[in-house]
Amino acid sequence: MSTFTITRAQLMDPSQGLNELSDIIIEDGVISKISKAGSTEPSSHQFDAQNTLLLPGLIDLSCHINSIVSETRAAARGGVSLLCTQPNSKPIVDTPADVSSIQQASDQANNSQILPLGALTQGLEGDQLANMVSLKQAGCIALSNARAPIKNALVLRRIMEYAKTHDILIMLTAEDHDLSANGKMHEGPTANRLGLAGIAEVAETTALAQQILLVELTGCRVHFSQISCARSVEMIKAAQDKGLPISADVAIANLLYSDCDVNGFDSTFHVQPPLRSEQDRKALLAGINDGILAICSNHQARDIAAKKAPFAAAEPGMSTLDSWLSMMLTLVAKGELELNSMINACSILPAKILGLEAGLKEQQQANLVIVDQAADVCFGADDLASIGKNNPVLGEPLKGKVCLTLSYGCEVFRA
């Protein structure tokens, strides 16, 4: 039996109201004992976590990954224990065989473990249902259409009815693709000044309204991925208050940046959903502080050529996994995000949405991260494990240095 002891860690788990100096014993990858600091016998295999925070490991509800080895290493570096990968990889994940090849690659990489999302529709084309039950049985924790459009409301209704029948969690993005057609950034003063075609807020909210009404009709469990507007937060809250089985997340980019950051045509800030107004950003942060929304990395590594083009011609997406926890802790340091809300939004709530064990409890698989909250960090391009250097924080001062990450009891990162 292998035993690993973590001593003198400031353990925080808002799901149980925990915030105390603790020792943790992990046996064969399972948390066997959590006790007051100093109560544990010295062990040969131990980690002194003095002056650092010990948190439940991050669970990423959405990232886009093609190179499994490098990107799961980036996740481990960013404090992520488990990550849901969108099905729009190459190949598209719409058969059980695709699912098992990802799982195998993930096991072999031995970094943060992947929880693959399967495609909702065949080839993500939006018109024919994928073999949803087979995908679930193959191990898909949920199904998603990435950001690809569902052909029409009727197909969406059928998807929800079928998913409800078999108790499958589906993840949707709210976007009316006719309204957002050719748009490159948030429709507003900056888009107008730069002469970039805008994506209006209504492209998200009209689609979201329709989807919420269909949830009401079908009773299907739906998670809304990457909402971006203040109005969407209101709509999600109202629907939740009504008792509808819905949840939602926000991409970290939309919490850190607004459409003003596109000034200068920097293609790093070309993302989907678009960076919205400062008012939207504030409302999304409030939604997280109120415990309504989860946070995802929405990581998307792009090679240099894909980003080295005029803004509109550059591929959308931002590489965020390596720096995800540091980005969030920087928002905490700035006073924009509460620490407890952050832990809830990137671990507790995602676990509940996915139906996984939440928080840090004895007899649970050890998914945890140790982070030096006060440490100053600054990422350079060479520091990133991700092949995508399209990360906006390169050279920027951040707070929070990940010291240790465990995924299912395995040590996947140590600084």
Site for another protein, rule CB under 8 A: 188-189, 191-197, 261, 263-266, 268, 305, 308-313, 392, 394-396
Rounded to the nearest whole angstrom, what is the least distance from the CB of residue 188 to another protein in the complex?
A: 6
| Alpha carbon separation from 409 to 41, 71, 335 (Å, rounded) | 20, 19, 32
Q: Which is nearer to another protein, 92 or 199 (CB)?
A: 199
Distance CA 87, CA 225 (A): 13
Among the listed residues 344, 350, 342, 296, the one whose alpha carbon sits nearest the alpha carbon of residue 320: 296
Q: Which is nearer to another protein, 136 or 307 (CB)?
A: 307
Rounded to the nearest whole angstrom, what is the least distance from the CB of residue 146 to another protein in the complex?
A: 25
- Collect all residues with Cβ–Cβ distance below 8 Å to 382 and sequence separation of at least 6: none
Distance CA 290, CA 77 (A): 28
Among the listed residues 148, 90, 97, 104, the one whose alpha carbon sits nearest the alpha carbon of residue 124: 148
- Ramachandran region, residue 166 (left: φ > 0; alpha: ψ -120 to 50; beta: rest): alpha
Q: Which is nearer to another protein, 118 or 188 (CB)?
A: 188
Instruction: Report the SS3 class of residue 388.
Output: coil
Distance CA 125, CA 109 (A): 30
| Interior angle at CA 382, CA 112 and CA 72, nearest 5 | 10
Q: Which is nearer to another protein, 10 or 268 (CB)?
A: 268
CB 371 within 8 A of CB 343: no
Rounded to the nearest whole angstrom, what is the least distance from the CB of residue 266 to another protein in the complex?
A: 6
DSSP 253-314: HHHH--GGGGTT--GGG--SSPP--HHHHHHHHHHHHTT--EEE--EE---HHHHSS-GGGS
Rounded to the nearest whole angstrom, what is the least distance from the CB of residue 308 to another protein in the complex?
A: 6
Rounded to the nearest whole angstrom, what is the least distance from the CB of residue 313 to another protein in the complex?
A: 5
Q: Which is nearer to another protein, 178 or 362 (CB)?
A: 178
Q: Kindly report the length of the chain.
A: 415
Rounded to the nearest whole angstrom, what is the least distance from the CB of residue 312 to another protein in the complex?
A: 5
Rounded to the nearest whole angstrom, what is the least distance from the CB of residue 395 to another protein in the complex?
A: 4
Rounded to the nearest whole angstrom, what is the least distance from the CB of residue 285 to another protein in the complex?
A: 21
Q: Which is nearer to another protein, 178 or 290 (CB)?
A: 178
Cis amide prior to 245 (ω within 30 degrees): no
Q: Which is nearer to another protein, 5 or 268 (CB)?
A: 268
As given in the structure block, the two tokens for residue 231 are 């109005």
| Alpha carbon separation from 49 to 28, 56, 92, 381 (Å, rounded) | 20, 14, 41, 28
Rounded to the nearest whole angstrom, what is the least distance from the CB of residue 195 to another protein in the complex?
A: 3
Q: Which is nearer to another protein, 209 or 394 (CB)?
A: 394
Q: Which is nearer to another protein, 69 or 312 (CB)?
A: 312
Share in percent of the chain as helix, strand, coil (round to 5): 35, 25, 40
